[in-house]
Structure formats: C-alpha cells, structure tokens
Structure 1
Amino acid sequence: MKRILIVEDELMIAGNLERILSKGGYQVSAIAIDYEQAERQLKTHVFDLALLDVSLSGKKSGVDVAKLINEEYGIPFMYITSYTDPKTIAELKSTQPAGYISKPVQAATLTTNIDLLFARLDHHNDEVTVQVGNGIHQYHLDAIYYAQADHVYTEVFHDQGSDVLRISLQAFQDQFPDNELIRINRSVAVCRRAVVKVDKTTVYLQDTCFRISRTLVDEVLEHFR
C-alpha cells in the first residue's frame, strides 16, 4: 500500500483528504500542519508521496517543504491549494511538482490524479538505462530474456533480437535493480521475469535453458523463493 504524507494546517481538510485516500486504497502515514512537523515526519518515516498545502502555519510554506523534499528525499509531491494567480503558479512550477489539485478537492479528481501518478512511476521503474562508454541503451525489464558474456562483450537477448555491447557482464548487471538480472553462472545472467522454471541444476526460459553453477545454486534458488 502506498504511503502518503499530508501537509495541511486545516485539520478538517486534512481529515477529509485522509478519508478520501483511505477509500481509494492509500495509507495516510502522517499529517503535518507546518514545515517543522513535516520535516520531522520525513526524517522518521518513509513516504511514497506528499500532498502539500501552499499556505501553512508558521513562517515557512508548502513550497519550502517541496524544496526540502527535492534536496533530501526525492519523493514525488503534489500541491493542494486554492491559489491560482500566475505568480504563485510560476513559483510552484519551479519546484517541479508531480501535480496540482485545486481546492475544494473533489474525491474523484484527487484519487484519479494519484492513481495516474503511481501508474507512470511504476512503468518508469520497469525501464533500465544502461550506459556503455558514451552511449546509452534503454531496456524494459519485461522485454529482456538474458545476457551472455563473450570476453569483453555482453550480448543482450530480448524480444526484438539481441544487442552486442562492449561492457563486462558484471558491469551490465550492476546497472539493474536488485533481483532483476540474476547471475546463474560465469557467463550468463537471466532476467527474473523471463524465467518459467527453476530447479537445483537448471534455469528454464521459454525457449532455452542454462545450467546453474554449483557455487551459485543456493544464491540463485534464494532469488526465486
């Protein structure tokens, strides 16, 4: 369940947002009414999204919270506010928010925007950018089958064919998220999503299979438990 921080100094509005989000399948992990409370919550909890009112109690605003998030936490945030003047909107845009919801908040508008945001983020997280020298190669994790070492080269097999890259298999694997590209022997790493069966000696893909190195059996099997 996605965890959300609400930063809103009007508790009735914050409570209403919490009810909407809970009905939409989200967890409101904390509510803060000012910058200082938001800072404490960010230090002590992990959030997937922050909803920020622009005008807060105290000297600092929701824009200051946004700047803190950008500098130290890197999570997406959306503004929820009644401000619509061009100067304020320009200031909000400069912090690169993931969205902007106008008050009064409509339940369907809020949950739809958050649903779309997480759908975009989840899709982006399925893409891997591999740097080879000065070149960039981008792969979708669902499209890769396996990678095979050939001296100083690695051949990447995917649903469109294969690419031969001048990069070691280890350096190629290091650019993938944990548990996505799994080394099964000295020369082969398989994409976890392409594996259809695993036993104590062999990893099976749709159209091929590979022997597991005896020294890696326990580690490989652990990936698929």
Structure 2
Amino acid sequence: MQPCRILIVEDESLVAMDMERMLTHIGYEVLPNVNNYDEALQLLDTTKPDLVLLDINLNDTKTGIDLSQRIQQQYKLPFIYITSHSDKTTVDQAIVTKPSGYLLKPFDENDLYTAIEVALSNFSGKQSNHHQQEAALVCKDALFIKNDKNFVRVDIDDICWIESEHNYLYIISPKGKHIIRSNFRDFQQQVPAAKFIQVHKSYVINLDKVEAFSHTDITINGKEIPLSRLYKDDFFACMKRIL
C-alpha cells in the first residue's frame, strides 16, 4: 500500500522538522522539505505529492499564496496553509485561493492528521464524484462494480475489507479484488454503518469477518490489518457490542 506523499514548504527549519516527525509517525511519506517558491516548483516538477503543507509567509520574494496559485493552475493538488497568523487580512487573502485547509501554529499530531484527512477526502470527493457514479452501483444488498464493459456483482456481506490508495478503493472479498475510484466517506454512506468500521487511515473492515484481533492489528481471512490508535476505542466498542 503506497502511503500518502506529502510535501512540506516551510522556511522555519524547526517547524519543518517537527512536522516531518509527526507525519512520519502517523504513517505518511514525507518528501524532502523545501523553504522557498523556486525549490518547491522544482520538487513539484520531479515528484508527485498527494498534498502540500504550505507556509504562507516564506522567507522569499514570493509567498505561499503565490505558490498556491501555481499549485492550483499547474499541478491541481490539495494544499493546506500552515501559519501563525489569524488576522483578517491574512485570512481574507488565503480564502481567495481556496485552500483545502488552514492550520494555525502551534498544532499537535491529531490536529495535523485531521486537517490532512479532511483535505484529502474533500478533494477526492470533488475529483471523483462523477467517476464514482459510473464505477459502482448499489442495489439492495450488493455492489455492482464496473469491470471493463460489465458490472460485476459483489455481495456486501462477502466484503472482507476495503483498502484506500490515493483516490481509489480496493474492495476485497473471497472472490477477489475490485477497484473503484472513491473514498471511505462515500463508500460508508452506501453500506450498513453497523457492519463496516474504519480501523486505520487506509483500511475499513467488515466486523463480521474478524477472525482475531489485538491492540495493534486485526486478522481477517488470514491477513493482518493494522489497527490505528486513533480508531482503537471505536473498534473495541464495536467488538464488545458484537460479543
């Protein structure tokens, strides 16, 4: 599973290092940090980040707001402003560029994780809404997933787990793996909420398929699926209701 790739554009080295530490701990892939407009463009040209964390006030002739305009026009990526400024002038200038988020310093790991996941989810929803309507149809107790020219039936009860990779979901069942362009939020709106639960930023599982679990992972159909501490309490609460 390819982790989400994040580019940090921040001119304060200590802040950049702290963000990199938090992002790595959560499980994201962090690209080399850059601190100015030109270096950011060079890296954007040679790599493919999924999201940019962007300081508004770069130590440069061009600001993060200038860079955000290039990101929108040329690279079409979600970006989150990272700043210590919440004054009306700065906020008004930032809003015009339609960022995917606005995170005030100082922040902790949970703040950072929440901002990133909301940004990715909203961006994915905008980009893939039309494709999702074509890729999968819901009919009572089954999904019909488009495979070439045909729609293949996958019974919801047979789904073991769902893996997320960028803007795609892999639907795993005993009959095989199917791929759709969607996100967890849209998928969970189409299936029974009591049956499917998110246990990691990259996994949603079918509670009826759990074979074993610990404080760090869940076993389904012989596969160990990581259990994130952010979702652990909800998972254990669901298992208590079932047991």
Q: Is TM-score (shorter-chain normalized) higher than 0.5?
A: yes
Instruction: Tell me the distance in 2 between the aligned counterparts of 1:75 and 1:126.
Output: 14
Q: What letter matches 2:4 in structure 1?
A: K
Instruction: Tell me the distance in 1 between the aligned counterparts of 2:76 and 2:124.
Output: 15
SS in 1 for 2:117: helix
Per the alignment, do residues 26 and 89 of structure 1 end up closer, same or farther by CA in structure 2, a change over 3 Å counting?
A: same
- Please tell me whether Structure 1 or Structure 2 has the larger radius of gyration of its CA atoms: 1
Contact (CA 8 Å) 1:8, 1:53: kept in 2 or not?
yes
**Is 1:190 the counterpart of 2:150 in the alignment?**
yes
2:187 — aligned with what?
Answer: none
Q: Describe the superposition over 1:171-210 as per-residue Cα deviations: whole angstroms up to 9, x where unpaired.
A: xxxxxxxxx7334xxxxx2235x358xxxxxxxxxxxxxx
Contact (CA 8 Å) 1:127, 1:140: kept in 2 or not?
no
Instruction: Tell me the distance in 1 between the aligned counterparts of 2:67 and 2:36.
Output: 9
Q: What does 1:29-108 align with in structure 2 at a 5 Å threshold?
A: 29-108=31-110
Question: What's the CA shift for 1:83?
Answer: 1.0
- 1:181 aligned residue (146, 150, 155): 146
Contact (CA 8 Å) 2:5, 2:49: kept in 1 or not?
yes
Q: Describe the superposition over 1:71-117 as per-residue Cα deviations: whole angstroms up to 9, x where unpaired.
A: 10000000000111111101100000000000112221111221233
Contact (CA 8 Å) 2:56, 2:83: kept in 1 or not?
yes
Per the alignment, do residues 117 and 58 of structure 1 end up closer, same or farther by CA in structure 2, a change over 3 Å counting?
A: closer
Per the alignment, do residues 122 and 182 of structure 1 end up closer, same or farther by CA in structure 2, a change over 3 Å counting?
A: same
Instruction: Tell me the distance in 1 between the aligned counterparts of 2:151 and 2:45.
Output: 35
Q: What letter matches 1:102 in structure 2?
A: L
Q: Could you state the TM-score of these two structures normalised by the residue count of structure 1?
A: 0.60
Q: What does 1:124-203 align with in structure 2 at a 5 Å threshold?
A: 127-128=129-130, 139=133, 141-142=135-136, 144=137, 159=139, 181-183=146-148, 189-191=149-151, 194=153
2:211 — aligned with what?
Answer: none
Instruction: Tell me the distance in 2 between the aligned counterparts of 1:51 and 1:26.
Output: 13
Q: What letter matches 1:103 in structure 2?
A: K
Instruction: Tell me the distance in 1 between the aligned counterparts of 2:75 and 2:23.
Output: 22
1:117 — aligned with what?
Answer: 119
Instruction: Tell me the distance in 1 between the aligned counterparts of 2:112 and 2:93.
Output: 22
Root-mean-square deviation (CA), in Å? 2.6
Q: What letter matches 1:68 in structure 2?
A: R
Q: Describe the superposition over 1:29-69 as per-residue Cα deviations: whole angstroms up to 9, x where unpaired.
A: 12111001101011110010000001112200100110110
Q: Describe the superposition over 1:119-171 as per-residue Cα deviations: whole angstroms up to 9, x where unpaired.
A: 34455565326xxxxxxxx82633x2xxxxxxxxxxxxx527xxxxxxxxxxx
Structure 2: which 5+ runs fail to align? 156-176, 179-243
Contact (CA 8 Å) 1:126, 1:140: kept in 2 or not?
no
Contact (CA 8 Å) 1:4, 1:30: kept in 2 or not?
no
Q: Could you state the TM-score of these two structures normalised by the residue count of structure 2?
A: 0.56
Structure 1: which 5+ runs fail to align? 130-137, 145-157, 161-179, 184-188, 197-222
Q: What letter matches 2:80 in structure 1?
A: M
Instruction: Tell me the distance in 1 between the aligned counterparts of 2:120 and 2:35.
Output: 25
Instruction: Tell me the distance in 1 between the aligned counterparts of 2:147 and 2:111.
Output: 41
Identity of aligned residues (%): 32
